[in-house]
Amino acid sequence: MQTIPESKFFERETIEHTLNDPSQVIPLLQKVQEKEGYVPEKAIEEISEITGVSVSNIFSVITFYKQFRLRPPGKYMIRVCDGTACHVNDARTLLDILNDELKLEGTDTTEDGLFTVMPVACLGCCSLAPVIMINEDTHGKLTPQKLRKIIKEYQKKGKETN
């Protein structure tokens, strides 16, 4: 009987269910990311120990799938839909505005750690195009003006709670 490895990220029960099971690499990564917002280096080592899959193999899985992040995200995750319907309704202007307002120069997260901007393929509410999602809230039928206003509100809210 193998001893259950010590873990900072997973409950004992989870580890028991996933021990030596390579097919659990993705679910475990998803679990860590849900809790931490990203996959910390230490978690990769733990998953390797639990599932028996090598660290380099796990790293290759992380980089293959778009869902996983290796760096912490901002407090507000802004998902900008660039699906077909949003695209024909000028989603790219929204992205330009976000880059401009949040002064993102080639990075996806603002310096103050408040926002992460991520273009996504389709949020699935095409009738509201163009759409963005900030954390769990959807904002639809956006105009440049509306978007600037929303960002200002979140900036204010973020600073107050910090």
User: Which residues would be at the binding site for other proteins (CB under 8 A)?
Assistant: 21-27, 29-30, 51, 53, 57, 60-61, 64-68, 82-85, 87-88, 90, 93, 96-97, 100, 120-129, 131, 138, 140, 143-145
Smaller CB distance to other proteins: residue 7 or 30?
Answer: 30
Distance from C-alpha of 155 to C-alpha of 5, rounded to nearest angstrom: 42
Closest CA to 76 of 153, 158, 145: 158
Smaller CB distance to other proteins: residue 45 or 159?
Answer: 45
Q: How far is the CB of 104 from other proteins (least distance, A)?
A: 15
Q: How far is the CB of 84 from other proteins (least distance, A)?
A: 3
Q: How far is the CB of 160 from other proteins (least distance, A)?
A: 24
List, in sequence order, every residue forming a beta bridge with 154; answer none if it has no partner. none
| Token pair 């002064």 in the structure block, residue | 103
Q: What is the DSSP string of 55-103?
A: HHHHHHHHHHSTT--SSPPPSEEEEEE-SHHHHHTTHHHHHHHHHHHTT
Neighbours of 56 (CB within 10 A): 9
Smaller CB distance to other proteins: residue 92 or 159?
Answer: 92
Smaller CB distance to other proteins: residue 28 or 75?
Answer: 28
Q: How far is the CB of 140 from other proteins (least distance, A)?
A: 6
